[in-house]
A and B are shown apart, each in its own frame.
Chain A
Amino acid sequence: MIEQHISTYREEAGELLAELETSLLELEECPEDADLIGRVFRAMHTIKGSGAMFGFDEIAAFTHEVETVFDLVRNGKLAVTKQLLNLTLRARDTIKALLDSSLSGEEVDRVEAEAIISGLKQLIPPVESESPPHAEQTFFDPVETGSRQQTWRIRFKPHPEIFLCGGNPSALLAELRELGTSHVVAHMDAIPLLGDLNPEHCHIYWDIILTTTRGIDAIKDVFIFVEDDCELRIDLVDDGGQIDVSEGYKKLGDILVERGDLSPAEMQKILGLQKRFGELAVAAGAVTPDKVQSALVEQRHVKNIRQERVAQESGSSVRVPAEKLDLLVNLVGEMVTVQAHLTQTAAQLKLPMVVSIAEEVERLTNELRDTALNIRMLPIGTTFTKFKRLVRDLSQELGKEIEMETEGAETELDKTVIEKLNDPLVHLIRNSIDHGIEMPDTRLAAGKPAQGTVRLAAVHSGDSVLLTIRDDGAGLDREAIRSKAVERGLMAANADLTDREIYNMIFAPGFSTAAKVTSVSGRGVGMDVVKKAIESLRGTIDIASVRGEGSTITLRIPLTLAIIECLLVRIGRDFFLMPLSIVEECVELSREDVRNSHGRNLANVRGAIVPYVPLRAHFGIVDNRPEIEQIVITRINGNKIGFVVDSVVGEHQTVIKSLGRMYRDVKGISGATILGDGTVALILDMGLLLRAAAQERGKE
């Protein structure tokens, strides 16, 4: 658009320069012609003024010098001489050259320009040196003066003829109101009787009590056009600092005196009478009811503001080092373990009194645990801003127009989880930008707006948080992924897979369908890393996509890493824990059932066939196999899988203790915990366990 204005300016300047030339030549004939002088001045003025607006700064600066001289001529302070006309004509040629060079890029003769300017300056009588240009007014970008809330008292008494200048007091008041919390009181005591009233004049004036963080400059800017003609007083009545709570705000009389509505002597006199001050002051005729009303409003306003602040300050946050919180959470973890021990012991002792104490301790411990974990929660929004920047930078680099929307920034997650989520999220957003959103012209051709949208949303769902990254780009290419997967041997060429299963192929290591590798993504390193990172947080990742409409990636992340709800099971004499979130149900498995399935490890659960993994065999536990075993049926990656154990003990609050480095390579174990009686139970990583079992089976 701006190009259009610029070319209009070029044409216009060209015309003006032609006109300037004619006028100057005519002026040579009749040097006294005021009309001609005016025309020359205006031509210069327009070239300068418009030039500055459309980026021709050099032209503007140069023309300014010539204009200054002609302003003097116009005001009769300088005569038109041959020398002046010569210089001006040369100046005209230089402006033309400047204008042309902006198009052709040709160099302009700066020496000539300098010579003209110094020549013109010699013509100016020395007294007429210019007053320094006015400092830029900071009218348009009111700067926040920190977050400090200050309360101001503003008395605004417009000039009676404000309407005749097109002013609108109510618009000004509305503008003030936008700055913060305000109370406005109108004073009507200056309104004359009907007979004397000029309806075109403004007789009302206002007191405004305004609480704002924007500072006095923002307030002054509101009145920028009227401040010279109106009565305007702006006083700071509360600077937002520390408050001595016992003191309260100023007395009504003091406010009136401070405002100059009442003299101190009058106040003393009235105070001597000792009744309610406001009534007394009015009754004594010293002030009008409006003024008292206004002062009362100020009193109330500031009181409220201060009360709020005290409440905020006392309830405000305390900064604590993260290690202290970690220590607290660890202690709570130990506490939960001891509590479990207590509950178990109480149950064994069968003493009603001890049982009831144990129950009480259990309730308190649970609350303590929730509170302690809650302290480590942070709103995820802090990372969102970082992603906005990422989207902005990347889309510029790739030449795409992309807008980032976020939702649920206030959703809270454990601090460590948020930190670990950062890299996977960056990767997923990069993918959306690079592979998802198309180039603007491609989008327009597909009937979509040129600007693409990446939407990052967070929402609570039970004991986890759902994070979705949605783009309105091209979506995944089902066939491309399929053929790539077949090529890489990830699936059989004739396998009949659901869309979801195919889309999930992109999480395989080294998988990429991108035709070319960009600096952003496409090397096929990544999605598997993302998946691993999410799984290490005990989360899940899922992808949905519609070709041509975009893709949605959903991450389900548990709220915390420290404590999880588990199902405690026993095999032989060992205890194991399975995360309760994936457990669906438990069914019995008798020896007979096993015999009936002819060694295929399939169970019939209400008519549905469910494959199972006999953990006893997997862990190599041989002793005392019970007659009836239990299958814990879980849902992993959308599939029902059973795990056979000896017996199910029950639910267990599990404080996760990481295993030492020695055990890092043990597949299928994610940690350990200490049970109530002091024995150690291993926490199973069901996903990895399943994969290991499947591999074993494959070998056989």
Chain B
Amino acid sequence: MAKVIMTADDSASVRQMVSFTLKQNGYDVVEAVDGQDALTKLSSQKVDMLITDLNMPNMDGLGLIRGVRAGTLNKFIPIIMLTTESQDAKKGEGKAAGATGWIVKPFKPEQLIAVVRKVLG
């Protein structure tokens, strides 16, 4: 069965690109437009992995990561955060919140897939 990955991003173009790349590589994708949307969806749906942006309205990426780790259903899933090079400090905050790893924007589809393969095992 195909693994399910959620992409949470308020940028439609990034969401589309991530989603397209993942689907092309045989993953199923659930999309969420911000942290709140993602957390609501994750409370009822089991996914295998989460890829989240850090800056989002309503609930940002850090809040989302903490929320997922505090929940039950998706507590142990790998979470990858998308950061920009200027947000080095954010990496640390993200890790502290429970993120598994990060991808620095801008990234290419191959890089995304390499990281997904790495954390999904």
Contact = CB atoms under 8 A, between A and B. Distances in A.
Interface of A: 1, 4-5, 8-9, 11-12, 38-39, 41-42, 45-46, 48-50, 52-54, 60, 64, 67-68, 71, 130-131, 133-134, 137, 140, 163-168, 170-171, 174-175, 224-225, 228-229
Contacts of A5: 13, 16-17, 20
B119 A133 contact: no
A8 B16 contact: yes
Taking residues whose C-beta sits less than 8 angstroms from the other chain, chain B's interface range is 35 or more
27 contacts: A8-B12, A8-B13, A11-B12, A42-B55, A42-B56, A46-B11, A49-B14, A49-B84, A49-B105, A50-B14, A53-B13, A53-B14, A54-B13, A131-B88, A133-B85, A134-B88, A137-B104, A163-B76, A164-B76, A165-B95, A165-B98, A165-B99, A165-B100, A166-B99, A224-B101, A225-B100, A225-B119
Contacts of A166: 49, 76-79, 98-100, 119
B73 to A, nearest CB: 14
* Most chain A Cβ neighbours within 10 Å, of B13, B104, B118: B13
A171 B111 contact: no
Interface of B: 10-14, 16-17, 20, 49, 53, 55-57, 69, 75-79, 82, 84-86, 88, 95, 98-102, 104-107, 110-111, 114, 118-121
A137 B120 CA distance: 21
Contact of B118 (A49, A64, A171): A171
Given A49-B14, A168-B78, A133 B121 contact: no
B100 A68 contact: no
Contacts of A137: 104
Nearest to B76: A163
Contacts of B11: 12, 46, 49-50
Given A45-B55, A165-B95, A53 B101 contact: no
Contact of A41 (B16, B55, B102, B120): B55
Contacts of B104: 137
B113 to A, nearest CB: 10
Contact of A48 (B16, B56, B79, B84): B84
Nearest 5 Cβ contacts at the A-B interface = A171-B121, A225-B101, A52-B106, A166-B78, A166-B100
Interface of B is mostly: mixed
B100 A167 contact: yes
Contact of A140 (B82, B88, B110): B110
A1 B20 contact: yes
B65 to A, nearest CB: 9
A164 B77 CA distance: 8
Nearest to A225: B101
* Most chain B Cβ neighbours within 10 Å, of A45, A49, A164: A49
* Most chain A Cβ neighbours within 10 Å, of B12, B79, B85, B102: B12
A164 B69 contact: yes
Given A8-B16, A140-B110, 8 more contacts: A12-B12, A46-B14, A49-B11, A50-B14, A52-B106, A164-B69, A166-B78, A166-B79
A259 to B, nearest CB: 27
Nearest to B94: A165
A175 B12 CA distance: 33
* Most chain B Cβ neighbours within 10 Å, of A38, A165, A175: A165
A63 to B, nearest CB: 11
A164 B88 CA distance: 22
A8 B16 CA distance: 8
B105 A52 contact: yes
A330 B106 CA distance: 64
Nearest to A6: B13
A225 B114 CA distance: 13
Contacts of A52: 84, 105-106
A42 B84 CA distance: 13
Contacts of A41: 55
Contacts of A168: 78, 119, 121
A274 B107 CA distance: 60
B58 to A, nearest CB: 10
Nearest to B98: A165
B17 A175 contact: no
B35 to A, nearest CB: 12
Contacts of B86: 64, 67-68, 71, 130, 133
A377 to B, nearest CB: 40
Nearest to A168: B121
